[in-house]
């Protein structure tokens, strides 16, 4: 009993400290001074940052440790993350190659399994001992001698490495294939001796077409330092094929292709390269250009194999002489099948509205394809389609595929009018038995930026399903402008001096749901990560009467200081938000930057800030400055908490990427949600 009293006393003391930390011995903020400038000293004051970290984590940890729901939540999430699974496998002549997830606190591994033994070819503990490096996928060379492994470091999408393994000698070939930028999480072979990955940094795209690894064949332990014979390079002045042939370096300009238009290299050989192009003006068009080149030319013109209007590319596969493009447009996801030889359209397979493509593979017949699909609540169903007869061999069924553990789920799509009349696609997922009224809990997950999907397209949310939907909540996802649900034009409607369009869309969607008596302000949680974190907090402060709890994760809260704090992506940020050094842009940014917003503890929603200390994409100082500001204007711990995780990257809330770090961060967040909803796990 005495121990509990001491803990409570400590909690009260720290709460008082949190509200007075910046009220003592500080110079008052001038009326015309931005919060970004006023709190700028925090960025260079390690002592102040350490104090903020320890103070806020003490408060958050004390609250969490005393929660009656903590053990239930931790156990439930542990069950979700602590399992062994084969994430990818391939059958080889010498055995079976597998990418294994071994559960919480255990490494991911590349295994070669034979009848007699199982050999670990690579483990992510070889990159970092705390297993925060996530092995995304692998690709086996056509001659089945080499395997490429794509690893995202520190739970981030900004630092990644490509590991090359010689399957014959079973050794890892040391490489310098480490990049900074956005790796898109995959690597694959595109020809007999070529592989492809894409890097995005300040809008510069590059694809590497590697050599045949003859150095690795003769010296499997030697350092493989690059020296690729081909590099497709996208720079502002031209798209160029660089040919490294021994000591000779030759540049071949690829004509009729603009920087930023092309998506990926699809196929390569000694005579030609096929490149997927996504043009956005004057309309959205997907096409494939085939560039033929020879040793005697300085440029290569292209032949367009095909083009398709009003489609956004998601991913690509090829087999059986066909290209399989997974695409979307608004609420419709499709699989476009083209003949590689002549570019003719073989078929367009439209998926049911509740599903997107998870993967495609050869079917049981020469003319069929297996389409693995996922919805927001399920990820384990597949169907087979015959693209010659244009008919399903086994068709998807909404009643069957939206069932899990003998419970039926509903997937409902709405078109919600924004204040300017534009219809915004909104998806609701809930149990068929859920009673929908003003008291129904609602979790709204948003993104809405950088021309990426806002989460509207179905992606399996098994944690949300079991932690929230199964207990009577509604999951809401949407495609506000700023994303790419309707192509680049949809993105541009919320760029630069139109950036607030995204926040208004989110606010209007939520007010519409309230007006339809689907939920009410005190039952609504809004959350998003990265650009979605900005949307979350900006929307919550712009319309405090609309949201009950906002949870911005890894959010760029100081928009005015973003190009300085996150200067790795300087040009990309200026394109998205505008240049803060320009007067008109600065004034517009002040209208929505969370750090500059009026934050009244009497009217604002509850706020739970989450960030990782090692985030290379959105510096943790965004969250530290926001925390300092909210404490200074009077937010007490009951209204605002901050969760700061050491050794965590951008994917702080992803148990797959961050392992134990993600598991714990998820647990603390769900405890905060349950507390807001007054849920007791004893009732579950």
pLDDT by residue (tens digit) across 64-107?
999 999 999 999 999 998 999 999 999 998 899 999 999 888 88
Using one digit for the tens of pLDDT, what is the confidence trace for 281-298? 889 999 999 988 776 678
Determine which helix (DSSP H) or strand (DSSP E) holds 504, and give its type and residue range.
helix 500-515
Mean pLDDT of 618-630: 97
- Give Cα 457 to chain centroid, integer Å: 13
Using one digit for the tens of pLDDT, what is the confidence trace for 344-394? 999 999 999 999 999 999 999 989 999 999 999 998 899 999 999 999 999
628 has a pLDDT exceeding 50: yes
260 has a pLDDT exceeding 70: no
Split at pLDDT 50, 70, 90, the class of 597 is very high
Q: How far apart are the first and last CA of the chain?
A: 29
Which whole-number Å values give the CA distances from 531 to 175, 519, 565, in the listed order?
33, 25, 15
Per-residue H/E/C for 201-220: ECCEEEEEECCCCHHHHHCC
For residues 93 and 144, is the Cβ–Cβ distance under 8 A? yes
31 has a pLDDT exceeding 80: yes
User: What is the model's pTM?
Assistant: 0.91
* Secondary structure (3-state) at 46: helix
User: Domain 405-678 is in which class?
Assistant: alpha beta
Using one digit for the tens of pLDDT, what is the confidence trace for 323-334? 999 999 999 999
Range list of H helices, 22-45: 35-38, 40-43
Question: Given this model, what pLDDT does residue 182 score?
Answer: 57
List phi, psi (to 5°) of 304: -80, 120
What's the token pair of residue 100? 């294994």
pLDDT: is 293 or 242 the higher one? 293
Averaged confidence pLDDT in the chain: 86
* Secondary structure (3-state) at 342: coil
Domain spans in the chain, listed from the N-terminal domain onward: 405-678
624 has a pLDDT exceeding 50: yes
For residues 598 and 541, is the Cβ–Cβ distance under 8 A? yes
18 has a pLDDT exceeding 80: no
In whole angstroms, give the CA distance from residue 152 to residue 133.
6
Using one digit for the tens of pLDDT, what is the confidence trace for 150-208? 888 766 666 777 788 888 888 887 665 656 555 556 777 777 666 776 655 434 445 55
In whole angstroms, give the CA distance from residue 573 to residue 103.
36
- Bridge partners of 239, per DSSP, are 234
Question: Given this model, what pLDDT does residue 6 score?
Answer: 43
In whole angstroms, give the CA distance from residue 256 to residue 258.
7
- Bridge partners of 162, per DSSP, are 150
Mean pLDDT of 199-223: 42
Using one digit for the tens of pLDDT, what is the confidence trace for 548-592? 999 999 999 999 999 899 988 788 888 899 988 888 999 999 999
- Bridge partners of 147, per DSSP, are 140, 165
Question: Given this model, what pLDDT does residue 353 score?
Answer: 95
Question: Given this model, what pLDDT does residue 20 score?
Answer: 47
* Secondary structure (3-state) at 454: coil
* Secondary structure (3-state) at 227: coil
> Strand 474-478 to strand 423-431: parallel, antiparallel, or no bridges (unpaired)?
antiparallel
Question: Given this model, what pLDDT does residue 416 score?
Answer: 98
> Strand 524-529 to strand 442-446: parallel, antiparallel, or no bridges (unpaired)?
parallel
Mean pLDDT of 426-437: 98
In whole angstroms, give the CA distance from residue 186 to residue 198.
8
Q: What is the DSSP string of 505-563?
A: HHHHHHHHHHHTTS--GGGEEEEEETHHHHHHHHHHHHSTTT-SEEEEES----GGGHH
Of 357, 325, 350, 356, the C-alpha closest to 339 is 325
Quote the percentage of the chain above a pLDDT of 70: 84
Question: Given this model, what pLDDT does residue 237 score?
Answer: 62
Bond from prior residue into 282 cis (ω within 30 degrees of 0):
yes
Give the Cα-Cα-Cα angle 262, 554, 41 (nearest 5 degrees): 115
Per-residue H/E/C for 379-406: CCEEEEEECCCCEEEECCCHHHHCEECC
Question: Given this model, what pLDDT does residue 369 score?
Answer: 97
List phi, psi (to 5°) of 74: -60, -45
Split at pLDDT 50, 70, 90, the class of 214 is very low
Which whole-number Å values give the CA distances from 246 to 206, 216, 219, 230, 494, in the listed order?
21, 16, 18, 11, 47
- Bridge partners of 332, per DSSP, are 329
Q: Which residue has the tokens 């960030």?
A: 611
Exposure of 403 by Cβ count < 10 A (0-12 exposed, 13-18 middle, 19+ buried)?
middle
DSSP state of 183: -
621 has a pLDDT exceeding 50: yes
Angular region, 602: left φ>0, alpha ψ -120 to 50, beta rest: alpha
Please count the other Cβ atoms lying within 10 Å of the Cβ belonging to residue 394.
Answer: 14
Split at pLDDT 50, 70, 90, the class of 433 is very high
Query: Which range scores top for mean pLDDT: 144-148, 238-242, 649-653?
Result: 144-148
* Secondary structure (3-state) at 673: helix
Q: What is the DSSP string of 87-106?
A: EEEEEETTEEEEEEE--TTS
Split at pLDDT 50, 70, 90, the class of 212 is very low
């Amino acid at each position: 009993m005495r121990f509990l009293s001491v803990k409570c006393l400590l909690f009260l003391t720290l709460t008082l400290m949190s509200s007075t930390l910046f009220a003592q011995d500080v110079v008052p903020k001038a009326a015309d001074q931005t919060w970004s400038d006023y709190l700028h000293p925090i960025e260079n004051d390690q002592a102040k940052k350490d104090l903020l970290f320890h103070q806020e984590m003490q408060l958050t940890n004390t609250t969490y440790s005393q929660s009656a729901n903590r053990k239930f939540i931790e156990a439930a999430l542990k069950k979700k993350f602590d399992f062994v699974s084969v994430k990818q496998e391939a059958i080889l002549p010498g055995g079976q190659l597998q990418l294994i997830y071994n559960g919480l606190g255990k490494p991911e591994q590349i295994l070669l399994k034979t009848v007699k033994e199982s050999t670990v070819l690579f483990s992510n503990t070889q990159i970092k001992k705390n297993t925060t490096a996530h092995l995304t996928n692998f690709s086996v060379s056509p001659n089945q001698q080499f395997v490429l492994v794509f690893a995202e470091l520190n739970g981030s999408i900004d630092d990644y490495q490509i590991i090359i393994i010689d399957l014959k000698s079973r050794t890892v070939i040391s490489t310098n294939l480490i990049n900074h930028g956005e790796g898109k999480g995959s690597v694959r072979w595109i020809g007999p001796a070529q592989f492809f990955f894409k890097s995005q940094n300040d809008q510069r795209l590059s694809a590497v077409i590697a050599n045949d690894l003859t150095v690795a064949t003769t010296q499997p332990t030697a350092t493989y330092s690059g020296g690729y014979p081909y590099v497709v390079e996208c720079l502002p002045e031209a798209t160029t094929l660089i040919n490294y042939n021994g000591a000779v370096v030759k540049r071949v300009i690829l004509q009729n292709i603009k920087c930023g238009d092309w998506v990926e290299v699809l196929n390569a050989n000694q005579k030609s390269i096929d490149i997927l192009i996504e043009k956005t003006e004057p309309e959205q068009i997907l096409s494939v250009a085939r560039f033929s080149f020879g040793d005697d030319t300085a440029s290569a013109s292209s032949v367009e194999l095909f083009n398709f209007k009003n489609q956004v590319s998601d991913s690509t596969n090829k087999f059986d002489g066909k290209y399989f493009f997974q695409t979307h447009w608004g609420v419709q996801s499709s699989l476009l099948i083209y003949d590689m030889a002549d570019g003719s359209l073989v078929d367009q397979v439209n998926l049911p509205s509740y599903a997107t493509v998870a993967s495609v593979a050869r079917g049981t017949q020469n003319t069929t394809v297996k389409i693995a699909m996922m919805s927001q609540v399920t990820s384990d169903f597949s169907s087979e389609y015959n693209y010659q007869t244009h008919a399903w061999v086994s068709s998807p069924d909404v009643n069957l595929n939206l069932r899990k553990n003998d419970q039926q789920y509903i997937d409902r799509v709405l078109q919600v009018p924004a204040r300017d009349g534009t219809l915004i696609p909104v998806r609701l997922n809930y149990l068929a038995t859920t009673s929908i009224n003003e008291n129904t809990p609602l979790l709204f997950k948003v993104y809405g930026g950088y021309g990426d999907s806002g989460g509207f397209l179905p992606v399996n949310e098994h944690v949300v399903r079991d932690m929230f939907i199964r207990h009577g909540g509604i999951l809401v996802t949407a495609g506000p402008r700023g994303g790419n649900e309707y192509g680049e034009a949809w993105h541009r409607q919320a760029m630069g001096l139109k950036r607030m369009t995204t926040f208004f869309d989110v606010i209007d969607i939520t007010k519409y749901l309230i007006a339809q008596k689907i939920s009410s302000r005190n039952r609504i949680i809004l959350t998003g990560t990265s650009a979605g974190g900005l949307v979350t907090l900006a929307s919550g402060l712009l319309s405090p009467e609309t949201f009950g709890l906002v949870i911005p994760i890894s959010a760029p809260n100081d928009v005015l200081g973003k190009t300085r704090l996150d200067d790795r992506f300087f040009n990309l940020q200026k394109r998205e938000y505008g240049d803060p050094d320009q007067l008109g842009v600065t004034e517009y940014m002040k209208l929505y930057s969370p750090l500059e917003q009026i934050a009244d503890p009497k009217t604002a929603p509850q706020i739970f800030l989450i960030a990782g200390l090692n985030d290379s994409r959105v510096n943790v100082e965004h969250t530290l400055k926001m925390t300092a500001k909210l404490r200074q204007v009077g937010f007490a711990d009951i209204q605002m908490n901050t969760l700061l995780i050491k050794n965590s990257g951008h994917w702080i809330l992803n148990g797959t990427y961050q392992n134990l770090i993600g598991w714990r961060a998820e647990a603390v967040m769900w405890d905060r949600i349950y507390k807001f909803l007054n849920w007791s796990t004893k009732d579950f």
